[in-house]
Amino acid sequence: MKKSFILDKEIRTCLSSLEIAARSKNIEICYNIQEGINLFSDLKMVATIIRNLVSNAIKFTPHGGKVEIMAIITNLNHVEISVKDTGIGMDKQLLNNLFCISESHGRSGTEGEPSTGMGLYISRDYIERLGGTIRIESEVGKGSLFIFTIPS
C-alpha cells in the first residue's frame, strides 16, 4: 500500500537490523542521502529492496570494507537509490544471470554466509511493480554498485 514517507528516516530504520552484521565484519556503512526526499510509494517494498541490497553488500564485502547508501531526486520526478560496496565484485557471466531464477547462485559470502539469490530476484520484482528500473555495475575484486530508480 502506497503512503508518503521521508526516505532518509526510513532507510536508517530499516537498516538498523543489519548494523550487527556490518560491525561483526568491521564494515563501515555510510549514508549519503539527499535531505528531505519525501517518497509516495509502498514503504514495505522499498524497505525490502534496500535491506536486500545492503545485506548482499555486507555479505560480499570483506572484513574492513565499506558500504555506501546514496539517494537523490532526479529531474524526472524519480528517486535514485544506490548501494555501493568495496566487495568481491562479479564477473560478466554472473552479472548476466543475476536475476535468472533458474540459475543457481549459491555463492557464499566472504565469511561463508549462505546465499540463494532470491533477495535480488524479489528486489527486481518489487522495483518493477513500483514502476522502476535497476542496473548494476561490478568488477571482480573492486566491488559492485546497484542503482535503482522509482517514481517519487
pLDDT at 27: 97
At residue 107, the pLDDT reads 72
Residue 101 is predicted with a pLDDT of 66
As a whole number of angstroms, the distance between CA 38 and CA 148 comes to 17
Can you give the pLDDT at residue 76? 79
Residue 51 pLDDT: 96
Task: Tell which residue, 126, 31, 16, has the closest CA to residue 72.
Answer: 31
The range of the structural domain enclosing residue 99 comes to 2-151
Enter the pTM of the model. 0.91
Q: Mean pLDDT in runs of 10 for the chain (152 residues)? A: 94 91 95 93 97 95 97 92 96 83 61 71 96 96 97 94
pLDDT of residue 100: 73
Total domain count, the chain: 1
**122, 35 contact by CB (below 8 A):** no
Compute the distance between CA of residue 128 and CA of residue 32 in angstroms, rounded to an integer: 24
| Residues with Cβ within 8 Å of residue 102, at least 6 apart in sequence | none
Phi-psi category of 15—alpha, beta or left, where left has phi over 0 and alpha has psi -120 to 50? Answer: alpha
Which pLDDT score is estimated for 113?
Answer: 67
Report the CATH number that the domain containing residue 128 is assigned in CATH. Answer: 3.30.565.10
